[in-house]
């Protein structure tokens, strides 16, 4: 949901793709795969232009991986999380969105000390662990392998040879730098898929001002 805020990764992609295609945000703050699986048919169907969809990202795990004892509302067991991701991929394929147009994104890593401060401020205990989030990230990667989709392993990439804390605003959610990192990584996967898309309508200098209908219709 926050991907379309200022400097968000969704907004960044939309800017890159202006006049080529629309970037539609159907992210829902706080949701997990158990809930997303139920509402996906409402969000994407054959009648909502599945055939003209060039790419779909599925980005879950940060909420599913919440610790069951401390956050039972959002927690989804690991095996169910994987099954839910597979179910969503299978649904998309059933409405003719092929696996080569689907990109799974793992949850980012969790910076425990920063997120613990957020939890304590609300009177709660630390309700997530980075190692646990990593298990869900691995499951996401495995689902992508099993289903033949692309995958962006954000959890691993953000921790590779660097301190990842600056990628997160509060230990859990992406910072401006984290959004930029995700946008860049995602674009490297989307560029090949979207490079062939033509621009919608001619550049204004190319319009025949004496007879615009010849250029525009």
Q: How far apart are CA 86 and CA 91, in angstroms?
A: 9
Enclosing domain of residue 149: 2-215
Within 13 Å and on the Cβ side, how many CA atoms surround 114?
A: 16
Query: Which residues are within 8 A (CB) of 192 and not within 5 positions of it... i.e. 6 or more apart?
Result: none
Q: How many domains does the chain have?
A: 1
* pLDDT single digits (tens) 21-56: 999 999 999 999 999 999 999 999 888 767 789 999
Q: Measuring CA to CA, which residue among 164, 143, 163, 165 is closest to residue 152? A: 143
| pLDDT score of 3 | 95
Q: Outline where 33-129 has alpha helix (H).
A: 33-43, 78-94, 112-121
Q: What is the pTM of this model?
A: 0.93
Binned at pLDDT 50, 70 and 90, residue 120 comes out as very high
* pLDDT single digits (tens) 145-196: 999 999 999 999 999 988 999 999 999 999 999 999 999 999 998 987 787 7
Whether 15 shows a pLDDT value over 90: the answer reads yes
Can you give the CATH number for the domain in which 124 is found?
A: 3.40.50.1110
Burial of 64 from C-beta contacts in 10 A (0-12 / 13-18 / 19+) = buried
């Amino acid at each position: 949901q926050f991907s379309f805020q200022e400097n968000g990764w969704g907004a960044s992609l939309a800017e890159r793709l202006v006049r080529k295609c629309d970037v539609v945000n159907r992210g829902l703050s706080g949701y997990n795969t158990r809930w997303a699986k139920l509402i996906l048919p409402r969000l994407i169907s054959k009648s909502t232009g599945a055939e003209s969809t060039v790419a779909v990202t599925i980005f879950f795990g940060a909420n599913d991986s919440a610790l069951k004892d401390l956050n039972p509302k959002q927690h989804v067991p690991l095996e169910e999380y994987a099954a839910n991701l597979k179910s969503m991929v299978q649904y998309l394929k059933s409405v003719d969105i092929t696996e080569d147009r689907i990109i799974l994104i793992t949850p980012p890593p969790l910076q425990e000390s920063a997120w613990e401060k957020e939890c304590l401020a609300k009177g709660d205990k630390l309700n997530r662990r980075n190692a646990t989030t990593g298990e869900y990230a691995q499951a996401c990667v495995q689902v992508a392998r099993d289903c033949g989709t692309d995958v962006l392993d954000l959890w691993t990439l953000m921790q590779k040879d660097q301190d990842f804390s600056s990628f997160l605003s509060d230990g859990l959610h992406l910072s401006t730098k984290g959004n930029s990192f995700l946008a860049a990584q995602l674009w490297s996967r989307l560029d090949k898929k979207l490079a062939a898309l033509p621009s919608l309508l001619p550049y204004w200098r190319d319009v025949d001002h004496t007879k615009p209908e010849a250029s525009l219709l």
